[in-house]
Amino acid sequence: MKQEKQASIPFTGYQKFAIFILAITMFTVVLDFMVMSPLGDILMKSLSLKPSHFGFAVSAYAFSAGISGLLTAGFADRYDRKKLLLFFYTGFIAGTLLCGIANTYPLLVGARIITGLFGGVIGSISMAIVADLFDLQHRGRVMGFMQMGFGASQVLGIPIGLYLANLWGWHAPFLWIGVMAIIVAALIAVKLKPLTKHLAIQQDRSAFRHLLHTLKKKDYRIGFSATALMSIGGFMMMPFGSAFAINNLHITQHQLPLLFMVAGLSTLIVMPLIGKLSDKADKFKIFTLASAWMVIMVLIYTNLSVTPLWIVMIFNVLMMAGIMSRMIPSSALITAVPVLQDRGAFMSINASLQQIAGGIAAAVAGMIVVQKDKFSPLEHYNTLGYIIVVITVISVFLLHRVSVLIKGRTKETIPQKEQRVIMEKEEFLIE
């Protein structure tokens, strides 16, 4: 009852702005990464790429993002989080614009590496800011709004990106994202307040020592493992989603934006509801139910053959509902794992391991999926579905450990006032 009352407390004006600016920042970063999937078929045909080559182009971003996260983890708690966000977001903008002018496969891969080096850290900085500004009882709602960047990228971003690609070529979406990101960066610079509270309680003088200190904690490693496993499934299916829809399900290039838009609209409805539910009910139970639902939908979707558009839309919506319903409660739980002075380092390492695991998954998926020529169906796409099912089951067990860890820590943390009352009662009984 107390938790429900806390969850109903309205956010302040500045908190609402912080949620908005972080959500729109994530919208541009997620869109930059997500747009590679719907552009997959166009890129594979335009640059004469095999699935393995395209899988590498996707994983290049992920690997560079993972390396960047590890390199910056030791410094993540030593600077104002606003300055860190602006620095990496500026680099992300430069990388995205470079993607917009690349005209060969090697140049595109190089631009994706630069984008990943900077863009891959932005999510972890944003999560650290959320954890600084909001307590655990309200993070479900915040995560629901934050993850709306994912849904918005599908409702608005990907359809517009595909429209621009069909009109002016695959470079256009990257240039459009770059221009949007410049406007967002200006808002961050002018409106977002400095975040420096964590600087007052730093104990590690060396950035390298701080990194090692964070990696050595067993509780943190459980959180890292859970996040890495959860990312593998998404990275396996996503890069070849549009190619599968076009070549196997016979969705046309002109129908593809509508498919992504409908799926995105559904997530915009589902995510705020799941966010509120995560603050009222047990987060792990929601995650488990969503995982079971996702497993069923993935098995059905990856085994589809030629299917009418409206049926594909239904299955796509149902599958996305399961995926997004897992992300919100799991993200809220993972942010509760680190203590304040380790939060930036934890989030950076967590994001880097997530990206590296995803990069490996995308590369492996590129080796599993086979396409005989540009227009033939993808083979072994359903094999990815079976692998995802196994990984999902393991991730449920890992997140259960995270949930138990957080609940145990919450029970141990008794407010000082309550502690004093207990001590006084004990002294009275002794007397």
In a domain, 6, yes or no: no
What is the spatial distance between Cα 237 and Cα 254, in angstroms, rounded to a whole number? 21
> How confident is the model at residue 3, as a pLDDT?
45
Question: Can you give the residue range of the structural domain that contains 321?
Answer: 13-195+206-430
For residue 43, which phi and psi values (nearest 5 degrees)? Answer: -65, -45
Q: Residue 421 — pLDDT band, cuts 50, 70, 90?
A: very low
Residue pair 412/300 in contact (Cβ under 8 Å)? The answer is: no
Q: Is the pLDDT of residue 65 over 90?
A: no
Model pLDDT for residues 314-331, shown as the tens digit of each residue? 998 898 888 878 888 888
Q: What is the DSSP string of 55-109?
A: HHHHHHHHHHHHHHHHHHHTTTTSS-HHHHHHHHHHHHHHHHHHHHH--SHHHHH
Is residue 310, in this structure, part of any structural domain at all? Answer: yes
With bands split at pLDDT 50, 70 and 90, how would you rate the model's confidence at 36? Answer: confident
CA separation for the pair 189, 167 (Å, rounded): 34
46-60, 235-249, 275-289, 336-350: segment of lowest average pLDDT: 336-350
pLDDT of 141 strictly over 80? no
What letter would DSSP give residue 370?
A: B
Residue 4 within a domain: no
**For residue 321, what pLDDT is reported?**
85
Assess contact for 139 and 3: CB atoms under 8 A.
no
Span 308-318, pLDDT tens digits = 999 999 998 89
What CATH number does the domain containing 306 carry?
Answer: 1.20.1250.20
Question: Does residue 192 have a pLDDT over 70?
Answer: yes
Q: How many domains does the chain have?
A: 1
**In the predicted structure, residue 400 carries a pLDDT above the cut 80:** yes
Instruction: Answer yes or no: is 5 within a domain.
Output: no
Q: What gap in Å lies between CA 57 and CA 66, rounded to an integer?
A: 15
Phi, psi of 319 (to 5 degrees): -70, -45
pLDDT digits (tens, 9 = 90+) for 88-97: 999 999 999 9
Query: What's the N-to-C CA distance of the chain in angstroms?
Result: 37
From the centroid of its chain, how far is CA 293?
A: 19
pLDDT digits 0-9 by tens, 334-382: 878 887 777 767 877 787 787 788 778 878 888 898 888 777 888 989 9
Identify whether 1 is part of a domain: no
Q: Half-sphere exposure (CA, 13 Å, Cβ side) for 153?
A: 25
Give pLDDT, residue 431: 41
- Cβ atoms of 314 and 305 closer than 8 Å: no
For the chain, the average pLDDT equals 79
Name the residue with higher pLDDT: 70 or 76.
70
Please count the other Cβ atoms lying within 10 Å of the Cβ belonging to residue 283.
26
| Residue 183 domain-assigned (yes or no) | yes
Of residues 423 and 25, more confidence is placed in 25
**This model's pTM is above 0.75:** no
pLDDT of residue 407: 79
In a domain, 201, yes or no: no
Mean pLDDT, rounded, for 197-204: 59
> Could you tell me which residues are beta bridge partners of residue 370?
379
210 domain-assigned:
yes
CB 30 within 8 A of CB 153: yes
